[in-house]
């Protein structure tokens, strides 16, 4: 009988930034596949609503743990709460991230540091905290969420692009060092994804979303389309894949002859 790679029964996943967007979509997918899920973000009310939604839809256990993932003490409490509740940690999704864009000439050192704190330090803190437990159980899957900005850069986002590039290299080195313990680490570089917050921001910025010629598939992606890759990386279907960054971005953008 072929194994069912979609079955996560008995596994425990922590998803940061789990109250909205890609994080919530990922938590819902894990729960529907039988995993117990712990979601973390700073906004307690939003997080509790998300956890209730996950539980209602899937019948799975979903624990909301309000956490500032930039704070080492709070990350330690998140990991300990997960262990107290479920006894193990099989999957860590470092999804919390983001930044406000602005030109390099006006970029303050505070904005630079804030971007690295959220997009790199937080992933380091969470990875470092779950590492001893995954090492002890000789298994684990870590999935970090990066961006196209970390691969190709974005003007107005020197801080964000550099931080996401650093996250991708952190993923590579984590995979190299911890592979001998049965731990895999991979990264998803998300493109233009139409989460609720992103769509609202595009509307405020009056971006014209009707012409997306720079994206071969001609549309933004959805949070579920990113979550699909996250769940794949965490599954046994990806048991021999580690240290990789895969773009979920609707295809490559390139110059050349115009489309007919």
Angle separating helix axes 158-178 and 109-116, nearest 10 degrees? 30
Q: Does 199 score more than 80 pLDDT?
A: no
- pLDDT, tens digit, 9 for 90 and up, residues 74-92: 999 999 999 999 999 999 9
Q: Which of 173, 143, 147 is nearest to 159 (CA)?
A: 147
Mean per-residue pLDDT, 227-246: 98
Q: Does 205 score more than 80 pLDDT?
A: no
Contact (Cβ atoms closer than 8 angstroms) between residue 230 and residue 143: yes
Q: What is the band of 101 on the pLDDT scale with cuts at 50, 70, 90?
A: confident
Catalytic site positions: 160
Decide which of 260 and 213 is more confident: 213
Q: Does 174 score more than 80 pLDDT?
A: yes
- Give the position of tokens 């890609």: 22
Mean pLDDT for all residues in the chain = 93
Query: Which pLDDT does position 194 carry in this prediction?
Result: 86
Mean per-residue pLDDT, 206-224: 81
Distance CA 89, CA 15 (A): 11
Lowest pLDDT segment from 168-172, 238-242, 254-258: 254-258
Distance CA 111, CA 107 (A): 7
Per cent of the chain over pLDDT 70 is 95
- pLDDT, tens digit, 9 for 90 and up, residues 21-41: 999 999 999 999 999 999 999
Query: Which pLDDT does position 175 carry in this prediction?
Result: 98
- Give the position of tokens 């997960």: 82
What CATH fold (topology level) applies to the domain 12-247? Rossmann fold (3.40.50)
- pLDDT, tens digit, 9 for 90 and up, residues 111-166: 999 999 999 999 999 999 999 999 999 999 999 999 999 999 999 999 999 999 99
């Amino acid at each position: 009988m072929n194994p069912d790679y979609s079955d996560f029964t008995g596994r425990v996943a922590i998803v940061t930034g789990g109250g909205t967007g890609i994080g919530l979509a990922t938590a819902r997918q894990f729960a529907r596949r039988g995993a117990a899920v712990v979601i973390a973000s700073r906004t307690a009310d939003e997080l509790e609503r998300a956890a209730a939604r996950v539980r209602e839809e899937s019948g799975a256990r979903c624990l909301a743990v309000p956490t500032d993932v930039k704070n080492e003490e709070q990350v330690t409490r998140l990991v300990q709460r997960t262990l107290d509740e479920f006894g193990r940690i099989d999957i860590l999704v470092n999804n919390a991230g983001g930044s406000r864009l602005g030109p390099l000439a006006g970029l303050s050192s505070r904005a630079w540091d804030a971007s690295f704190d959220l997009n790199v330090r937080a992933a380091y803190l969470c990875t470092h905290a779950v590492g001893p437990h995954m090492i002890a159980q000789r298994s684990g899957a870590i999935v970090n969420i990066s961006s196209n900005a970390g691969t190709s850069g974005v003007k107005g986002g020197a801080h964000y692009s550099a931080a996401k590039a650093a996250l991708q290299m952190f993923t590579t080195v984590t995979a190299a060092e911890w592979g001998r313990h049965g731990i895999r680490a991979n990264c998803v570089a998300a493109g233009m994804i139409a989460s609720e917050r992103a769509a609202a921001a595009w509307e405020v910025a009056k971006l014209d979303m009707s012409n997306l010629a720079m994206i071969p598939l001609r549309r933004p992606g959805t949070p579920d389309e990113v979550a699909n890759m996250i769940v794949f990386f965490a599954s046994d279907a990806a048991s021999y894949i580690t240290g990789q960054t895969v773009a979920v971005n609707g295809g490559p953008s390139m110059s050349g002859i115009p489309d007919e």
